[in-house]
Amino acid sequence: MAESLKKMIELGIGVGDSHLFQQDKIWSRYSQDKVDIGEKLVKVIRALHKTLPLKKPLIAISIGSSNEPQFRILGAAFRGGLNLLDIEKEALNIVRERIRRQALTHVKIIVGDYKKLFLDPKHASGFLKSKLKGKKINLICLHHSMYYCNEPNWKPLFDNLYRVILAPSGAMHAVMMAAKSSDEYTTSWLYGYFAGKYFGCYNDQDLRHFSKELQDDSLFRRAGIHLERSRIRFFVNNFSEFMSVIWMIMLYPSVHKYTQKQKEEITEFVYKKFWLKERPLIQEQDHLVVYRGINLKERV
């Protein structure tokens, strides 16, 4: 192995242990992901505004995406209260400083694991009473946060959020990477190739399939279910930053514990296939919106 390649591999592996919010900041800066989420989010908010009185202060909760750019949209649109729930204290500390600096008194920080809070209906009811003061939510955001919840738990998660937390007129907006792709330059293909090769693990977190499951469930019979796919481009002319995002996509070290040899193989592959050729990494991602009490015929 050439000495220059060896150094690049060492550099790429070295950023694997960086904080998730730092990785996401790089992803946000050099991809259209947050613009895409913001665009779809604004459409959901417009639909809410067409149904609810304009003078009514709306309430939202963002689950696991406290420090992301769409916070600015949510902070402005949900003056009745914006609740930011996250397990990562470092990300919440950044928001906490902003809340103090900008006197955002309607924004509330909640530290916690959403799986422990919402997978059980009793816990969800307790959260509504203790953290939300009994006020139901007009918008529930799950922006790239469902990766940390096993697919069999999605249904109880949505059931409890829909039954207990969501207001009679409201929406739930979830965003996730597409489960599979035949395009070898996508995040879906990259994850499936290496996680499958090393662990026999394949992405079963399919938001498209889940939307069909919801449509067939009696609880969501009257809900409006909307699904849309986007295609996102990511590239940064800094290999450390590029690999930092790769490790986020590969769920290292939060889920998969790759060996040193495996990390070297992944890093060399990415260096030669993407970064050296200035080839962007593509993410196909799905948006699932579940509307409750919203007239979708008038939805913008």
Q: Decide if 262 is inside a domain.
A: no
- Kindly state whether residue 74 falls inside one of the protein's structural domains: yes
Within a domain: residue 83?
Answer: yes
In a domain, 195, yes or no: no
pLDDT at 83: 96
Inside any domain, residue 140: yes
286 pLDDT tier (thresholds 50, 70, 90): very high
Q: What is the mean pLDDT of residues 145-156?
A: 94
Please, which pLDDT band fits residue 89 given cuts at 50, 70 and 90?
A: confident
Does residue 116 sit within a domain? yes
For tokens 């399939």, what's the residue? Answer: 209
Does 299 or 297 have the greater pLDDT score?
297
Look at residue 85 and tell me if it is in a domain.
Answer: yes
Overall number of domains in the chain = 1
Flag whether pLDDT at 300 surpasses 60. no
- Check residue 298 and give its pLDDT: 53
Helix axes 20-30, 239-249, angle to 10 degrees: 110
Q: What does the alpha-carbon distance between residue 8 and residue 6 come to, in Å, rounded to a whole number? A: 5
251 exposure class (CB count in 10 Å sphere: 0-12, 13-18, 19+): middle
Give the mean model confidence (pLDDT) for residues 38-47: 96
At 170, list the tokens. 């409201």
pLDDT at 172 > cutoff 70: yes
Whether residue 42 is contained in a domain is answered as yes
Q: How confident is the model at residue 2 (pLDDT cuts 50, 70, 90)?
A: confident
Is the pLDDT confidence value at 19 over 90?
A: no
Summarize the confidence of residues 143-158 as an average pLDDT.
94
What is the per-residue pLDDT across 260-282, written as a single tens digit (0 to 9) for each? 999 999 999 999 999 999 999 99
Lowest mean per-residue pLDDT among 57-66, 67-76, 93-102:
67-76
Contacts of 258 (CB under 8 A, 6+ apart): 198, 250, 252, 266
- Least confident among 83-92, 140-149, 278-287, 289-298: 289-298
- Residues 225-260: pLDDT tens digits? 999 999 999 999 999 999 999 999 998 998 899 999
Instruction: Look at residue 299 in the predicted model and tell me its pLDDT.
Output: 45
Boundaries of domain holding 144: 31-177+204-231+285-298
For residues 188 and 228, give the distance between their C-alpha atoms in angstroms, rounded to a whole number.
Answer: 17
Question: In the predicted model, what is the mean pLDDT of the chain?
Answer: 94
- Which pLDDT band holds residue 214 (cuts at 50, 70, 90)? very high
- The answer to whether residue 188 scores a pLDDT higher than 80 is yes
Indicate whether 1 pLDDT > 70.
no
3-state helix, strand, coil in the chain (%, to 5): 50, 20, 30
What is residue 297's predicted lDDT score, i.e. its pLDDT? 67
pLDDT higher than 50, residue 197: yes
CATH number at residue 117: 3.40.50.150
